[in-house]
Amino acid sequence: MKIKFKRKHILILGLVILLSVGIQLPAFIYNEYEFMVRANYQLAEMAFDDAETMIDARTGKGDILVSDQKKADLYLPINQAIEVIIEAVNEQKQYVNKQDQLIKFLPKKFRQYHQLKQNYLNDYSQSFAVYQEVKLAEHWLYSTMERLGQTGTLLADIDFSQDYSDQLTEMVVMADLITSDIQSAGDKGWLTESMETYLKFKTQKFIDIHNIIVNPDLNGNQTTIAIRNWQVSLEEEPNFNQALNDWHQNLIDPIFNQGKKQYATAVEKLTLADGFYTKHNLGRDWITVILSKFSDYYPKNI
């Protein structure tokens, strides 16, 4: 016996299928965005690990011993890793914002999960904003000390028995650039008073010796006396270790510890959100389950 479907039956069946797909479509799209949220989380964490490893190597905190040249070469990769972290966190925010548009079409469990995830992401993004600020400040200080050392080498290597104008010019140009950077770092809140005093003292001494040597109003004997006075003034140099300890204790460490607490809280909230997502099988929307029968690309978040 053959079963014949009337045209209206086919139409009804088609409408049922279309309606079913329509109901499941928001959940499917939400889960597609969810995959991108999680992928960018993984990217942020990998970049974070890379940045920490390189910063430890550059500051001597890690177990890996690297040459001074290698430390200098790490400047750009560290900045790039920090940029990847912030970009990946921002990408997470963008996909969560897209998910916001779908929430009103989704069941209660999705709305509950979405709120849990937003709570995590707020702390997570804030913790990395703090991390970025602290690490950029540390990174800048290390590089500035390195440049001060290079400036000192330029001065020490000047051969006054030959034409030294180019070397002297190079030295003062570098000192002027460092002076400008110190002002910029102070404006960003990256310096304590004691560290700023130390850095300005060191930089100004290079500018002072340049001005003494090129001063056309001084004769040979006057120049010699001025240089001796300059050498005596070096004894007034502020204590770097004290400035560094003050910088860490009163500026860097409190901010960094705040970021660590936010990060730990974010991880707790993430664990809670992920457990909720898994427990209630939110990744198993019908469209995803059906597609998994035909494509190895699915499932993504199940």
The predicted structure's pLDDT at residue 65: 64
- Looking at residue 161, what is its pLDDT? 77
Identify the pLDDT of residue 7.
Answer: 55
Name the stretches of the chain with pLDDT < 50.
1, 3, 5, 8-22, 302
pTM for this model (two decimals): 0.73
d(CA 111, CA 114): 5
Q: Alpha-carbon torsion 106, 110, 116, 120, what sign?
A: negative
Among residues 231, 242, 270, the alpha carbon closest in space to that of 113 is found at 270
Let me know: does 192 contact 251? Beta carbons within 8 Å: yes
The alpha carbons of the chain give a radius of gyration, in whole angstroms, of: 31
- Residue 32 burial class via C-beta count within 10 angstroms: exposed 0-12, middle 13-18, buried 19 and up: middle
Tell me the backbone φ, ψ of residue 215, rounded to 5 degrees: -65, 115
Query: What is residue 68's predicted lDDT score, i.e. its pLDDT?
Result: 67
Per-residue pLDDT tens over the stretch 147-186: 999 999 999 998 877 888 888 999 999 999 999 999 999 9
**Residue 40 · residue 91 · CB < 8 Å:** yes
- Amino acid 16: pLDDT: 38
What is the predicted pLDDT for the residue at 91?
A: 96
pLDDT at 298: 65
Both tokens of 153, joined, read: 């080498």
Q: What is the pLDDT of residues 235-270, one digit of tens each?
A: 999 999 999 999 999 998 898 888 889 999 999 999
- Would you tell me how many other CB atoms lie within 10 Å of the CB of residue 270? 18
Interacting residues of 37 by C-beta distance below 8 A, sequence separation 6+:
92, 95, 96, 99, 117
How far is the C-alpha of 115 from the C-alpha of 119, rounded, in Å? 6
Question: How much is the pLDDT for 63?
Answer: 64
Domain positions in the chain: 7-103+111-292
> Could you give the angle at which helices 75-100 and 7-59 cross, rounded to 10 degrees?
150
Q: What is the pLDDT of residue 160?
A: 78
In degrees, to the nearest 5, what angle opens at C-alpha 153 toward C-alphas 148 and 155? 95
| pLDDT tens sequence across 62-72 | 666 667 677 76
Looking at residue 230, its pLDDT comes to: 95
Phi, psi (deg, nearest 5) at residue 252 = -70, -50
Q: What is the pLDDT of residue 75?
A: 75
Q: Within 13 Å, how many C-alpha atoms sit on residue 158's CB side?
A: 21
Beta strands in 119-226 (DSSP E): none
